Structure formats: C-alpha cells, structure tokens
Amino acid sequence: MINKKINSVEEAVAGVTDNMTLMLGGFGLCGIPENAIAELVKLGAKNLTCISNNAGVDDFGLGLLLQQRQIKKMISSYVGENDEFERQMLSGELDVELTPQGTLAEKCRAAQAGFPAFYTPAGYGTEVAEGKESREFNGKMYILEKAFEADFAFVKAWKGDEAGNLIFKGTARNFNPCMCGAAKITVAEVEELVPAGELDPNQIHIPGIFVQRIFQGAHYEKRIEQRTVRQR
Amino acid sequence: MLDKNGIAKRIAREVKDGYFVNLGIGIPTLVANFVREDIEVEFQSENGVLGMGPFPFEGEEDADIINAGKQTITTLPGASFFDSALSFAMIRGKHVDLTILGAMEVSENGDIANWKIPGKMVKGMGGAMDLVASAENIIVAMMHTNKRGASKILKKCTLPITGLGCVKKIVTNLAVLDVTPEGFQLIERAPGVSVEEIKNATEGNLIIKGEIPEMKIA
C-alpha cells in the first residue's frame, strides 16, 4: 500500500504559491473542501485562479478567499450568491470566465483522463463559442473545448483510506471525482479516514492513484444554503 | 390567465409514463408537484441525483443531499447519485427524455435566451447551455410578457443567446405554443384569455388554425 496520509492541514496546502491555478470541488456549499479552504486563507497565497462550479457565499467557501483578495480569476458556471464577488467583478478586480456546467465538468474529466480537448455542442452559437474552433459532426455543430491545466485540486469526500481511495456521499459528490487526478497534485479531505483494508474495494468511487495527499478534516460545518422542508 | 402554479400544472400534463425529466430552477421546479400519481417518472438534477423526491420533513434535512437550486431534498426508492461529468453525460448523451426550463426570451426559430442581461450582474449559465444544446424535447415555462408588458415571444431574441433552435413547446400564463418552421402555432388558450389578447402579447409570427381550445388543467 502506498500511503497518502498526511498529518496536518498545513501539509495539505504545502506548495501552493502565488499565481497558481487551483481546482476546488463542490456544488454551492455542498461537498466543498472546507478545511483546505480555511487553510488557504491562512496561507495567504495571492493571484490565484480558481476553478470551481460556484464561488461560495460571503462568509463561507470560496467567499473567504475572495474576502482576502486572494483570487484574481474565477472559472465557474454560476456565481450569484456572493456580494463581495459581485463588487470585485463589477469593479474589474476579479476576472470571471463563465463556462457551461457540463463543459466545466468535462474540462476537469478530460484533464484527468489525458484528453487535451473535446467537442461539445454546449455554447455553440453563443458568446461562449467566441474565438473557439467549431466543427460539424453528423449535421450538428460542436465547439472545441480544452482540458484544464491546474496545479492543485482540492476535493472533499465522505470516507477515505490511507491509500487515497475515496467514497463520496449524496450530491456532495458533484465535481469532486472529476477533479481527482486532474491537477498536478490532488489533495483529498475526508470526514472519516480509515486504515487501508477497511473500505470494500467494490465500493470505492475514486481509486487512490488519483490522490496524492489525504487527511481527515478537523471539523465540518456543512452549511446548508437553502433549507427547504415540508410539513408532516 | 394562469399563475406560476397554473403554468406548472399545464406542463405536468406533458410528462409521460417512463420519462426521465430535468427541471430547471423557478416555475419548472413546481412541475414535480403536479405530475399524475399513476405514472412513473424520475427527476434528474444536474448536480448529481436521479430519482429526486420531495423536500425533507423538518429535522431530516441533509446538507449532502440538495438539488440544483441548492435546496435540501430527499430521494425516492431507485434513486442514484453520480458525479457532474456523468450527470452531463446523461444530458448531452440524450438519455433524459424531457427538459423543462425558464426563459427570458424565445424566438420564432426556437432560439432561447435565459442567462444574461447586458448591464446587469451576470450570474452565469449553470447547466442551461448544456441542456439546450442536447435535449430533443424542451418545454419552456415563462410569462408571455415582461413586467412592462413587452412580449417575450419574439421574431428574434434581443438578449445573449443560450442555445439555437432548440425550443419545441412554450407554456405561458396566456397560452400553449408549439415552435414550428413557420412560427409559433397557438395550441391552447389559458382560461379566460382570448385569441386577440394572445395575438397582442406575441411579437413573433403567431399561427392560428381553426378554433383554439381553452386549456384543461385539473
């Protein structure tokens, strides 16, 4: 067993420096790498490009990095829930590249799987297609989208083992598996880290080969963005 | 004239037994409340769940189980979770039978604009561009006119496009329209709405063939 376990959140972010490109898993606040984000705030690396479906809220998730002005560019599909984000975007401090959600996921997966680029119909005929190669296949138009190139991927899983194998829970899975192995270094944080051999190999969602560092997060707030309930 | 629930009720009649359905945020989300109980339908949410159920009872919310609107949800027997790439493989690969989404504008040739208003804060397209580029059966739920009374059913979209030539059917507060090569064909009128009112509220070419029945919504 090749041991991927690290002993502290400081080790998780070791090597992150100014101007790097980071992938961060999560959909809204669901399944975000909370502990790594908090540590990135402490680390203070600046001019970061962050690839993440959303940009957090003002006081949680990537909003914390925005508050510290650590992000120079966001690559996301939807960014609506954050006043500080809006202020920085409108003032020109923050560069934003809006990408269709399926394309965003596939740009991660392509990087993970060794494809330099792929054709997708999403965005053909729209602003998203501007400056991109387009091509017809079987009578339908597609645009060429390139795989991401990132320095670090920070992902969050439910359970993991020391070999870096990961199991996700519910819709907290989202972009996390697509980002594993899609950057030079993948750092996974989990709610429960167990010794190798304790997870059933049949149940593993992401094999440890895609993960370089794994640690158990000290605390998970798991904030709910829209609490909706029905009456009994 | 229909309210938002009325539009959702009418669209629910288009949902057939055995369909996998993707619902957008807003009026489309309401459609799930009105689908007949004697048919089997599975709702897909782009953030990675198939077999979505109703909102949880108070105290049973799970931060790890949400829909694309980031609302807490439940799952039904037979449900599954998956990652974002696989979710969009379902969508792009045409495995989803029906897509219901909102729009700011629709044009005669089925173009849809629903993601950006120049000069306003742009939140992003989310999964809308992927959905409209691939889905073969798209129903749009929308108000026929904007708050100033101007038509949103147009000859040509004025806002930035989300997708070209993709909308098949539109259900508004006033009417059901099919998008045809000749223009918008009027299929049904909302209760108490005249053909004349629909004509006045529609900027694009409106095709009226014979008597136009009033919608039946249970």
pLDDT tens column, B143-197: 999 999 999 999 999 999 999 999 999 999 999 999 999 999 999 999 999 999 9
- In A92-131, the residues whose Cβ lies within 8 Å of chain B are 98, 100-106, 108-109, 120-128
CATH class of the domain comprising B4-207: alpha beta
State the nearest Cα–Cα gap between B72 and chain A, in angstroms: 5
Q: Per-domain residue ranges for chain B? A: 4-207
Average model confidence (pLDDT) for chain B?
Answer: 96
pLDDT for residue B20 is more than 70: yes
Closest partner residue to B72 (CB to CB) among A98, A224, A231 is: A224
Residue A224: pLDDT band (50, 70, 90) is very high
Q: Per-domain residue ranges for chain A? A: 17-98+149-216
Residues of B in contact with A28 (CB under 8 A): 47, 66, 70
pLDDT tens column, B46-67: 999 999 999 999 999 999 999 9
Give the pLDDT of residue A23.
98
Give the pLDDT of residue B83.
98
pLDDT tens column, B99-143: 999 999 999 999 999 999 988 888 999 999 999 999 999 999 999
Helices B84-92, A101-113: inter-axial angle, 10-degree rounding: 120
Interface confidence, given as ipTM, is 0.97
Both tokens assigned to B12: 């629910």
Beta strand B112-113 with B98-102: parallel, antiparallel or unpaired? Answer: unpaired
**For residues A144 and A118, is the Cβ–Cβ distance under 8 A?**
yes
pLDDT tens column, A139-182: 999 999 999 999 999 999 999 999 999 999 999 999 999 999 99
| Active-site hit among B42, B46, B105, B203 | B46
Both tokens assigned to B158: 């004025």
Beta-carbon neighbour count of residue A227 at 10 Å?
A: 15
Both tokens assigned to A94: 């923050």
Q: How far is CA B10 from its chain centroid?
A: 11
Q: How far apart are CA B1 and CA B214, in angstroms?
A: 11
Quick check: B129 and A103 CB within 8 A?
A: yes
Q: What is the pTM of this model?
A: 0.96
For the question of residue B46 being annotated catalytic, the response is yes
Residues of A in contact with B124 (CB under 8 A): 76-80, 98
Domain A17-98+149-216 annotated CATH 1.20.120.80: no
State the nearest Cα–Cα gap between B120 and chain A, in angstroms: 10
Q: How far apart are CA A67 and CA A88, in angstroms?
A: 10
Taking every pair of Cα atoms in chain B, the longest distance, rounded to a whole number of angstroms, is 54
